[in-house]
Chains A and B, each alone.
Chain A
Amino acid sequence: MGQSILTLQGIEKSFEETKVLKGISLEIGEGEFITFLGPSGCGKTTTLRIISGLEQPDAGRVFLAGEDVTELAPEKRDVNTVFQNYALFPHMNVYDNVAYGLKIRKTPKLEIRDRVMNVLAMVQLSGYEKRMPAQLSGGQRQRVAIARAIVNKPKVLLLDEPLGALDLQLRRQMQVELKRLQRKLGITFLYITHDQEEAINMSSRIVVMHDGVLEQVGTPDEVYYHPRTSYVAQFVGNANILTGKVVERREGVLSVQIGQEMVCVLDDGSASVGEMAVIAVRSEHILVTKERASLGLAALVKEKSFAGGMLRMTLVLKDGKALIASRHGIDADCEEGDPVFCCWEPEQAVLVDGREQEGVTAQK
């Protein structure tokens, strides 16, 4: 992480009775590609609007390059936004849309021309200057919105689910382009999405947000492999969450008792023998066999389905809880209704903070 460019300190915000942000503190380094990941309604867009100045926080401060900008009007802040609906000016052509910020700042005409042409080339829209927004496709409008923001060379570029309205193929392509653009410009990108795949693909750091708080801040690796809370484990990695009692610690592995059965989990020192522990295991790490082993859980196969190159099995445990297991390929040596046994390598299961375990449903 480079020098800090944006700092949020204890940001709180309520809309009428609802508290949307419950004290957000975060430091963002120069040149980072940081992604706010969370379901809709988690407060990520509100955070972004507070950074851009379109919303005022009830409490807390916003610092941009060391300067307190909390009270500053949006036009006085050196940040630009790519809006979710693009918000292109329908009465201006592509050139005038992109040139808007520069014209407002009274940039010399020749310089405007240079810079506009330059960014249009960068987003591969050369030759489209005279088109009106209504004459462009969704992807092209998206590029104009990005060009209109980056042409002003902001300190931080805020992107509010910019790819949400595009189809999957175009979205993948734009992910690559955005990443390329960010590296080339060296501008800090603050990106908002509810798509965990997008977040993992693009970000240097991910901020997982849930219900107005930051659940976890870390690199995609950290968030994916070492989820701090059961919420992160489920939202980012579609993990299964199990609760049991720690009965034994041995060589970096904890044995956890769930009902009458025993499972193993990686020991990170956060739980001691005799305590209750919450375990996260991702579906692709669960091995489903017909043979009984000393460690593992007995289950019944409830449902099999095939999607995205993965076979997905819904298993029902003895205590009635559902467990999702998945694997590549379509072949499975068990049928719906078969009794099976599931286990995992100790290092594939991690301990998480389970305070929000109830009421969280795994996405997808």
Chain B
Amino acid sequence: MRRSNRRGIPHGFLMSLPMYLFTLFFVLAPLCYMVILSFLTRAEVWGVVHEVTLDNYRNILTPVYLKTFYESLKLAVICVVLIILTGYPFGYFMAKLSSTWKRRVSMLLMIPFWTSALIRMYGWIIIFRSNGILDKLLMGLHITKEPLKLLYTYPAVVVGMVYALVPFMIFAVYSSAEKMDWSLVEAARDLGASPAKAFFTVTLRLTMPGLLSGVVLTFIPSMGLFFIADILGGNKVVLVGSLIQEQLMKARNWPFAAALSVVLMILTSLIIWLYRRVTKVRDLEGFY
């Protein structure tokens, strides 16, 4: 989109003007507001008073809150690893299906999104609870003897997170693998590479942008998704997301919630920056 009209305004710019305006009002402005909020002081009853302070940030450094960050990070990393292990092969093989099956599979992946994620999490409760569907199945098959009591445990939260986020990885990898020139794999085989070797030297490298953007797309939400930990984890698993929500909605400490959000954002950006440095992939699938 480098063409210009006679007045010298690039067409591309005019076309994407609504996008810029949208970003300005709905992303940038709230973000600035949040950053400002994080330096203000909580009012006695409602809202904030305009007294600039660093107390909110100092507060985060207490061990309780640091531990929450650490737990969130740990959970996010576990989830992303599991998402890669399940989502990558899925997206990869999906790209090799015939076009009819590609359409069918993406349909199946899309359907859950028509239902609220919250409701889908309640579905997991039915599966996980004592003597729920999973227990009945496992005991019916004589694999386990007693109910597993999976609900309100760490694994339940992990399963819920992976379930909620894996489609993003699948679609990111799929769109990368879909574009791949499979004759390159044939060329690798022709030059003496075994299927596995060809995969690691060619396919994986060329689908890296998809994998990477899948990681970004799933890592960020898995740091912040609070309702999954709340619903499937009871109160046992406290994450930054839940903490922010609690501070905002229950404790009504807006500045502290804002400060937590800012730190979370910086932390996430930092990790992604580091990740991109390490993997040396410059372009992300679907990003710039």
Name A residues whose Cβ lies closer than 8 Å to a Cβ of B.
Answer: 52-54, 73-75, 79-81, 83, 85, 87-91, 100-101, 104-105, 148-149, 152
A152 near B183: Cβ-Cβ < 8 Å: no
A residues in contact with B201, CB < 8 Å: 100, 104
B residues in contact with A149, CB < 8 Å: 191
For the complex, give the distance between the alpha carbons of A85 and B181 in Å. Answer: 10
A90 near B187: Cβ-Cβ < 8 Å: no
Question: Known contacts A87-B184, A89-B202; is A152 also within 8 Å of B189 by CB?
Answer: no
For the complex, give the distance between the alpha carbons of A295 and B184 in Å. Answer: 60
Q: Which of B184, B190, B202, B205 contacts A80 (CB 8 A)?
A: B190
Distance to closest chain B CB from A119 (angstroms): 13
B194 near A75: Cβ-Cβ < 8 Å: yes
B residues in contact with A91, CB < 8 Å: 205-206
B192 near A152: Cβ-Cβ < 8 Å: yes
For the complex, give the distance between the alpha carbons of A101 and B192 in Å. Answer: 6
A residues in contact with B183, CB < 8 Å: 83, 85, 87
Is B186 part of the contact surface with A, judged by Cβ < 8 Å? Answer: yes
Distance to closest chain B CB from A189 (angstroms): 16
B residues in contact with A54, CB < 8 Å: 186, 189-190
Is B104 part of the contact surface with A, judged by Cβ < 8 Å? Answer: no
The 7 tightest CB contacts between A and B, nearest first, are: A101-B191, A87-B187, A74-B189, A104-B192, A87-B183, A75-B192, A81-B190
6 contacts between A and B (CB under 8 A): A75-B193, A75-B194, A81-B190, A88-B187, A89-B184, A89-B202
Q: Which of A73, A85, A88 contacts B189 (CB 8 A)?
A: A73
Q: Which of A85, A89, A105 contacts B192 (CB 8 A)?
A: A105
B residues in contact with A81, CB < 8 Å: 187, 190
Name B residues whose Cβ lies closer than 8 Å to a Cβ of A.
Answer: 181, 183-184, 186-194, 197, 201-202, 205-206
B191 near A104: Cβ-Cβ < 8 Å: yes
Distance to closest chain A CB from B100 (angstroms): 15
Distance to closest chain A CB from B249 (angstroms): 48
For the complex, give the distance between the alpha carbons of A164 and B239 in Å. Answer: 60
A53, A75, A101, A148: residue with the most chain B Cβ atoms closer than 10 Å: A75
Specify the chain A residue showing the minimal Cβ separation from B197: A104
A residues in contact with B189, CB < 8 Å: 53-54, 73-75
Q: Which of A53, A73, A80 contacts B191 (CB 8 A)?
A: A80
Distance to closest chain A CB from B196 (angstroms): 11
For the complex, give the distance between the alpha carbons of A101 and B206 in Å. Answer: 18
For the complex, give the distance between the alpha carbons of A88 and B191 in Å. Answer: 12
A104 near B193: Cβ-Cβ < 8 Å: yes
A residues in contact with B181, CB < 8 Å: 85, 87
Distance to closest chain A CB from B110 (angstroms): 30
B184, B192, B197: residue with the most chain A Cβ atoms closer than 10 Å: B192
B residues in contact with A87, CB < 8 Å: 181, 183-184, 186-187
Instruction: A54-B189, A73-B194, A100-B201 given; name 11 further pairs at CB < 8 Å.
Output: A53-B189, A74-B186, A75-B194, A80-B191, A81-B187, A83-B183, A87-B186, A89-B188, A105-B192, A149-B191, A152-B192
A152 near B206: Cβ-Cβ < 8 Å: no
For the complex, give the distance between the alpha carbons of A60 and B219 in Å. Answer: 53
Specify the chain B residue showing the minimal Cβ separation from A54: B186
A residues in contact with B206, CB < 8 Å: 90-91
B187, B193, B197, B202: residue with the most chain A Cβ atoms closer than 10 Å: B187
Distance to closest chain A CB from B193 (angstroms): 5
A152 near B187: Cβ-Cβ < 8 Å: no
B residues in contact with A85, CB < 8 Å: 181, 183
Question: Known contacts A85-B183, A87-B183, A89-B184; is A52 also within 8 Å of B205 by CB?
Answer: no
